[in-house]
């Protein structure tokens, strides 16, 4: 395509809306991930709040845009309050979970250099289930990210294996709350005790759980200890653009000891003076901060608790219904909102079931370990479609059995 002379907005708008028709119908819950949606009223608020500060640049927050600085500070303070921080804690507003995780590894690396008691090349220990962004961080930052097998019985990080693997290169341990592949929390309390004992940095990846678990706990659900109040936790990432329901481009990297925030940042004495940023980006969208601020204040404790209740009830409805379909089995344990299910019948191929669901218009996410499976990350957008999903799933299972169908594994997670 070549840039031509300009066209009128109404025509372009129509064209863009037509393009949307190519996508999976997320409003009807066809996507098992990617989308965090409550209703059109919240969507309108998100759009307006984002739009109000879309032009402003958070690179200039300290001098040109005190509005952004104030909103960013408010968002960080509210998150610290929710996630076990205290007066000494602080945080960095980032563009997403990936940036938060890369910055966490960078902060730990620069802290380790300052400490002077670790041997280079530095090493980070993580379970195999930790998000790929840790390995990307290792690649970018010249740090080795060593992944250990998850515990086979509950898919959680194997703390004994972590303890055995620590050597004088090891600077950091990683735990997830929960991890994406199986939706379980790693034993953060035990990892924290180990980190404290060996003088290491523990990062908790609560990108998924950070804005869901605290509200689920307030609603009475059993949520394992995972936040900054757990002894030994140095930093925690929480995505506002996931269960915080803000527009994309909003995550936080929180530090238990605020003075360590400086290890995440970057400063350069340039020909025109000092250039300094908190995170990886230079220019940053003011809209992402404004939207996070507006959504958090609009939803508030009661709004988030209601969303958490809907998410967990919907998860329960899915898993109970799936377990009732002969041949299928929900993989347990899972904590909160992400689960997988597979086949317990050698004559029922789960990949063929996935293919049959795709033919019925569902976007199907797959899982590999401990068994080939189908994965759902539940969201309020799924609440109205559970019965439709289960009925299509039941029909898909019948179709696979009748045709003795064998499917193909699609390894693409994203």
Ligand X SMILES: Cc1ncc(COP(=O)(O)O)c(C=O)c1O
| 280 torsion bin: left (phi>0), alpha (psi -120 to 50), beta (else) | alpha
Which among 362, 373, 376 is positioned nearest to 331, based on CA atoms? 373
C-beta of 33: minimal distance to ligand X in Å?
7
Nearer to ligand X, 125 or 207 (CB): 207
| Contact flag: residue 179 with ligand X (CB under 6 A) | yes
Range 128-147, binding ligand X (CB under 6 A) = 131, 133
- Minimum CB separation of residue 42 from ligand X in Å reads 19
Stretch of residues binding ligand X (CB under 6 A), selected from 145-153, 174-182, 256-264, 342-350: 174-182
In the complex, least distance from residue 366 CB atom to ligand X, rounded to whole angstroms: 15
Tokens matching residue 406: 């064998």
Q: Is 183 in the site for ligand X (CB under 6 A)?
A: no
Q: Which of 180, 243, 245, 255 binds ligand X (CB under 6 A)?
A: 180
Shorter beta-carbon distance to ligand X: residue 33 or 314:
33
Residue closer to ligand X by CB (options 136, 360) is: 136
Cβ burial, residue 22 (10 Å; 0-12/13-18/19+): exposed
In the complex, the smallest distance separating the C-beta of residue 138 from ligand X, rounded to whole angstroms, is 15
311 binds ligand X (CB under 6 A): no
Tell which one of 205, 278, 335, 349 touches ligand X (CB under 6 A): 205
The footprint of ligand X on residues 350-409 (CB under 6 A) is none
Minimum CB–partner distance for residue 180 and ligand X (Å) = 4
CB contact at 8 A, 131 and 176: yes
Position among 208, 228, 288, 291 found at the interface with ligand X (CB under 6 A): 208
Q: Shortest CA distance to 245 belongs to which of 184, 186, 306, 286?
A: 306
Task: For the chain, give the secondary structure using H, E and C.
Answer: CCCCCCCCHHHHHHHHHHHHCCCCCHHHCCCCCCCCCCCHHHHHHHHHHHHHCCCCEHHHCCCCCHHHHHHHHHHHHHHHHHCCCCCCCEEEEECCHHHHHHHHHHHHHHHHHHHCCCCCCCEEEEECCCCHHHHHHHHHHCCEEEEECCCCCCCCCCHHHHHHHCCCCEEEEEEECCCCCCCCCCCHHHHHHHHHHHCCEEEEECCCCCCCHHHHHHCCCCCCCCCCCCCCEEEEEEECCCCCCCCCCCEEEEECCHHHHHHCCEEEEECCEEEEECCCCCCCEHHHHHHHHHHHHHHHHHHHHHHHHHHHHHHHHHHHHHHCCCCEEECCCCCCCEEEEEECCCCCCHHHHHHHHHHCCCCCEEECCCCCEEEEECCHHHHHHHHHHHHHHHHHHHHHHHHCCCCCCCCCCC
- Candidates 85, 96, 192, 224: give the one binding ligand X (CB under 6 A): 96
To the nearest whole angstrom, how small is the minimum distance from the Cβ of residue 89 to ligand X?
20
Task: Identify which range of 81-89, 153-161, 172-180, 325-333 contacts ligand X by CB under 6 A.
Answer: 172-180
Binds ligand X (CB under 6 A): choice among 97, 214, 244, 321: 97
Shortest Cβ 181–ligand X spacing (Å): 9
- Rule CB under 6 A: is residue 61 a binding residue for ligand X? no
Identified binder of ligand X from the candidate list 239, 278, 349, 355, rule CB under 6 A: 239
What is the size of the binding site for ligand X (CB under 6 A)? 14
Taking the least distance from each CB to ligand X, the nearer of 49 and 101 is: 101
Measured from each CB, the residue nearest to ligand X is 97
Q: Which is nearer to ligand X, 194 or 208 (CB)?
A: 208
**Single residue of 173, 207, 330, 348 touching ligand X by CB under 6 A:** 207
* Between 248 and 321, CB nearer to ligand X: 248
Task: Answer yes or no: are the C-beta atoms of 373 and 367 closer than 8 Å.
Answer: yes
Shortest spacing between CB 151 and ligand X, in angstroms: 18
Q: Using an 8 Å Cβ cutoff, are 232 and 175 in contact?
A: no
Instruction: In angstroms, give the least distance from the CB of 193 to ligand X.
Output: 22
Interaction between residue 249 and ligand X (CB under 6 A): no
CB of 120 to ligand X, least distance (A): 26
Interacting residues toward ligand X by CB under 6 A: 96-98, 101, 131, 133, 176, 179-180, 205, 207-208, 239, 251
């Amino acid at each position: 395509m070549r840039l031509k002379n300009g066209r009128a907005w109404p025509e372009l708008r129509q064209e863009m809306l037509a393009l949307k028709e190519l996508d999976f119908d997320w409003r009807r819950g066809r996507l098992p991930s990617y989308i965090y949606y409550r209703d059109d009223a919240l969507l309108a608020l998100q759009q307006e709040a984002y739009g109000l500060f879309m032009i402003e640049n958070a690179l200039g927050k300290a001098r040109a845009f005190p509005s952004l600085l104030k909103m960013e500070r408010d968002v960080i303070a509210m998150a610290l309050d929710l996630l076990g921080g205290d007066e000494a804690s602080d945080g960095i507003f980032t563009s997403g979970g990936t940036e938060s995780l890369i910055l966490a590894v960078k902060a730990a690396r620069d802290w380790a250099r300052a400490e002077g008691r670790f041997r280079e090349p530095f090493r980070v220990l993580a379970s195999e289930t930790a998000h790929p962004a840790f390995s990307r961080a290792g690649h970018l930052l010249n740090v080795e990210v060593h992944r250990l097998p998850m515990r086979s019985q509950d898919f959680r990080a194997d703390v004994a294996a972590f303890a055995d693997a620590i050597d004088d290169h090891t600077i950091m341990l990683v735990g997830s709350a929960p991890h994406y592949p199986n939706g379980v929390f790693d034993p953060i309390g035990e990892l924290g005790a180990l980190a404290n004992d060996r003088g290491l940095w523990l990062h908790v990846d609560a990108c998924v759980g950070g804005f869901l678990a605290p509200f689920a706990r307030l609603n009475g659900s059993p949520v394992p200890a995972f936040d900054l109040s757990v002894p030994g936790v140095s930093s925690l990432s929480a995505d506002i653009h996931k269960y915080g329901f803000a527009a994309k481009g909003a995550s936080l990297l929180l530090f238990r000891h605020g003075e360590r925030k400086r290890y995440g940042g970057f400063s350069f004495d340039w020909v025109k003076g000092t250039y300094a940023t908190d995170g990886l980006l230079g220019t940053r969208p003011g809209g992402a901060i404004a939207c996070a601020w507006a959504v958090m204040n609009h939803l508030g404790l009661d709004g988030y608790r209601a969303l958490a209740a809907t998410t967990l009830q919907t998860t329960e409805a899915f898993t109970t219904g799936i377990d009732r379909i002969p041949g299928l089995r929900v993989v347990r344990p899972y904590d909160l909102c992400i689960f997988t299910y597979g086949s317990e019948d050698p004559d029922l191929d789960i990949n063929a079931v996935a293919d049959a669901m795709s033919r019925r218009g569902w976007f199907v996410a797959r899982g590999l370990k401990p068994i080939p499976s189908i994965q759902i990350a539940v969201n309020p957008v799924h609440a109205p479609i559970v019965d439709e999903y289960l009925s299509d799933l039941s029909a898909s299972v019948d179709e696979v059995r009748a045709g003795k169908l064998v499917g193909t594994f699609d390894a693409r997670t994203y």
